[in-house]
Structure 1
């Protein structure tokens, strides 16, 4: 069974264009690391500085813990730390945004 997790992050002021540029194409190595950790889909929408993510993954917490020690992800997170307001520790303890409603 696949989990669908929603996330929210926020860009530092003035980092919108750079964020879009670095996400225009992620590296094959990062793509492979995400897929190895169980991610089947990751979509990001941006409204100004607010980023909304929907991640489809086999096990969200396991994915986060695996990526926490992956050298490719560690390098990617260093780039993201320059762009995002809050650094991500990849502890795997969070469950993303709480679902409030779904059209049945």
Structure 2
């Protein structure tokens, strides 16, 4: 399953609130993500920087399906208050560029 990496940044002082909001994701949001093909979504935070790893069948399709979904629209409005640059859900991005992965490394081994 494809993995998409994303980076977002919190507004100054919103770290604790972001963590608290994510402690209990609404069940209807989780259901909408799964229905849109998301297998897993993990988020790491370093200060104000957020790093997401999304395992999803088709990232652009997921973004398209969720763009106008009522539960996602409400969630994105909530996140917009916390993020430096709110997500527009245009579906045109493709995530961060992969630089290297151990699973695909064919060099460097001693033979």
- The TM-score, its normalising length taken from structure 2, stands at 0.91
Match of 1:83, SS? coil
Count of aligned pairs between the two proteins: 103
Distance 2:90 2:9 in 1: 19
Provide the residue aligned with 2:42 in structure 1: 43
Provide the residue aligned with 1:85 in structure 2: 84
- Are 1:10 and 2:3 an aligned pair? no
Distance 1:67 1:31 in 2: 11
Per-residue deviation, 1:87:
1.3
5+ residue gaps, structure 1: none
Provide the residue aligned with 1:95 in structure 2: 94
- Are 1:31 and 2:30 an aligned pair? yes
Distance 1:89 1:67 in 2: 11
Provide the residue aligned with 1:74 in structure 2: 73
Deviating runs (4+, > 3 A) in structure 1? none
Larger radius of gyration: 2
5+ residue gaps, structure 2: 106-111
Distance 2:84 2:43 in 1: 16
